[in-house]
Amino acid sequence: MSSRLISEQEVVRSAHREAIGQEIIAWREWWGELCEFGNPHFGEMGDRLSALRQHLAVYFTQEKGSGSEAERAGRASGTTANRMREEQGALLAELDDLIARLHCREPDFESWSQARDEFEEILDRLLVSDE
């Protein structure tokens, strides 16, 4: 693979990371505003997480196509790459489940903050897996 192609792929990956980071920041700002008013919007939360999920899926797919930085540098084994893909798939599946529950007519959360806590747990794992 030429260094120019790798460089272009890194630009795309960086742009995806930045866009996802901005979405997370916007989500947290939205959450803060809702907390001030005390009015839960489960469906809207699901819509916002759906958009983030789509961007994550594109990022993960792009990462699979180009290989992770560690793989390209020859430092990661195939087992590590497979484990990373499995973790990414699990994160997307958990987001799908959370989004479906948020869009239910009667969401099954004990409280509004429980929905946020579940999403924050997914985010924590996402941030750890992306390091």
d(CA 95, CA 52): 9
Per-block mean pLDDT, blocks of 10 residues, the chain (131 long) = 60 79 86 77 89 90 65 58 87 95 88 88 81 59
CA distances from 50 to 43, 61, 93, 108 (A): 10, 16, 12, 18
CA distances from 102 to 45, 66, 70, 108, 125 (A): 7, 33, 36, 8, 20
Residue 99: predicted pLDDT: 95
Side chain identity at 19, as an amino acid letter?
A
R_g (Cα) of the chain, nearest Å: 17
Question: CB–CB of 51/23 below 8 Å?
Answer: yes
Structure tokens, 29: 């700002």
- Prediction pTM value: 0.75
Structure tokens, 28: 């947290």
Residue 78: predicted pLDDT: 66
DSSP state of 74: T
Question: CB–CB of 95/46 below 8 Å?
Answer: no
d(CA 18, CA 20): 5
